[in-house]
Amino acid sequence: MVRRRLHGRELGRLEFTADHVSHVRAAVRRMVAGLESERADDVVLAVHEVAVNSVVHGVGAGRLRGWDDGQQLVFEVENRRDRNTTPTMRAPTSDQPSGRGLWLARHLVDDLSVDVTPDSAVVRLRLFHAEAAPAS
């Protein structure tokens, strides 16, 4: 996996596998300590959904990193890819048994982006600080 330089205060890191993806929730909960409860719940669920996708659609392992750059909290989930699939955020239909992870996560955070290379997929979830949120 690609090592990227963090810009800001690191909140935490976690390497996880399919057997330990449940640890992601606790790690994110620690990273957002002090955040308003409902907002914290949303980001914990969003990051967990992305982490589950990373083990299901990747090689069964991933890396979580979180940081605060002064304007936003950023959570990055990276996984190695072993098949030629591209993550999508389209709304699922009622007859689809799966395919809601990224779509759901996108609705729980302020911004979500996906970068895909031939070897990896990186999903970044952003939660703007109230004073830095873009005007609607």
The pLDDT tens digits for 41-97 are 999 999 999 999 999 888 889 999 999 999 999 999 999 887 666 666 677 777 776
Order of strands, edge to edge, in the sheet holding 120-128? 9-17, 61-68, 72-80, 120-128, 111-116
Q: What is the pLDDT of residue 94?
A: 73
Superfamily of domain 10-91+98-132: Histidine kinase-like ATPase, C-terminal domain (3.30.565.10)
Beta strands 72-80 and 9-17 are unpaired
Q: Where are the domains of the chain?
A: 10-91+98-132
Dist CA 85 CA 125 (whole Å): 20
Kindly report, residue by residue over 106-129, the tens digit of the pLDDT: 999 999 999 988 889 999 999 999
CA distances from 129 to 35, 54, 69, 73, 78 (A): 10, 26, 10, 7, 23
